[in-house]
Amino acid sequence: MNASSSPPSMEPLSARIPSDLYLWLAQLQVEGAATNSDKLRVLLGQLKRQHDGAFDYVAAHAWTRDLTARLRDSLVRIESETGHHSEVVSLLLDHFVSAIALAISQAPQNADDARKLEEGLVRRATSLCETLLRQGTPSSAAAYDPQVVRKHLGTALELAQSIPSATSSKGS
């Protein structure tokens, strides 16, 4: 085994932390970590990657999904208990995770990179709008509140109707 593929050396770390943080860490579920030492290694590694800006889109997406795991677990529990599911909430979470991952994974170096980021964010936001419009098309959305989308689309629809279509602006 060569030096470049050997595992990093481990250094001991000792710290005193408040009991509420210790209890929180002990109960925290961290994928791939069973002990508090394992959890600290994983969490410090994530923090370092975040600080170093080393998140690529896929890693940022996974990290953002981890951040929303408690919410997702709660929604699964509610669905299991009540039989109610919100496609709207699921779709919104998917869009938010992707948009945040895109933003986290970027550090534009020049105007072209900034334009590409802008393109990706607008594409993601437009896709979110299309998703909500699809949910608002039938008389009731697949949501906890079947009218939630229609209640909030009025102004957005008015604004959308005031934008000249792509075909009419080509002739100008």
CB atoms within 10 A of CB 77: 10
Sign of CA dihedral 72, 76, 81, 86: positive
Higher pLDDT, residue 30 or 4: 30
pLDDT of residue 32: 82
End residue of a domain, out of 5, 37, 54: 54
Q: Is 46 inside a domain boundary?
A: yes
Residue 10 has pLDDT above 80, yes or no: yes
Q: Is 86 inside a domain boundary?
A: yes
At 110-131, the pLDDT tens digits run 999 999 999 999 999 999 999 9
Residue 3 has pLDDT above 60, yes or no: no
Sign of CA dihedral 127, 135, 96, 59: negative
At 25-77, the pLDDT tens digits run 999 888 788 899 999 988 888 788 777 766 788 888 888 888 898 899 999 99
pLDDT of residue 53: 62
Q: Is 29 inside a domain boundary?
A: yes
> Are residues 38 and 62 both part of a single domain?
no
| Whole-structure pTM value | 0.72
Range of the domain at 29: 17-54
For the chain, the domain total comes to 2
Q: Torsion over CA of 127, 132, 134 and 138, rounded to 10 degrees? A: 180
CB atoms within 10 A of CB 121: 14
Q: Which 8-state DSSP code applies to residue 10?
A: P
Tokens standing for residue 95: 């869009």
> Are residues 38 and 78 both part of a single domain?
no
**Exposed e or buried b per residue across 10-35, where buried means at least 16 C-beta atoms within 10 angstroms of its C-beta:** eeeeeeeeeeeeeeeeeeeebeeeee
pLDDT of residue 31: 79
Q: Is 164 inside a domain boundary?
A: no
pLDDT of residue 1: 47
| Average pLDDT of the chain, as a whole number | 88
Can you give the length of the chain in residues?
172
> Are residues 33 and 61 both part of a single domain?
no
The residue to which tokens 């590409």 are assigned: 116
At 139-164, the pLDDT tens digits run 999 999 999 999 999 888 888 889 88
Q: Is 67 inside a domain boundary?
A: yes
Give residue 7's pLDDT band: very low, low, confident or very high (50, 70, 90).
confident
pLDDT of residue 4: 57
> Are residues 37 and 64 both part of a single domain?
no
Residue 89 has pLDDT above 90, yes or no: yes
Supply the Cα-derived Rg of the chain in whole angstroms.
Answer: 22
pLDDT of residue 170: 55
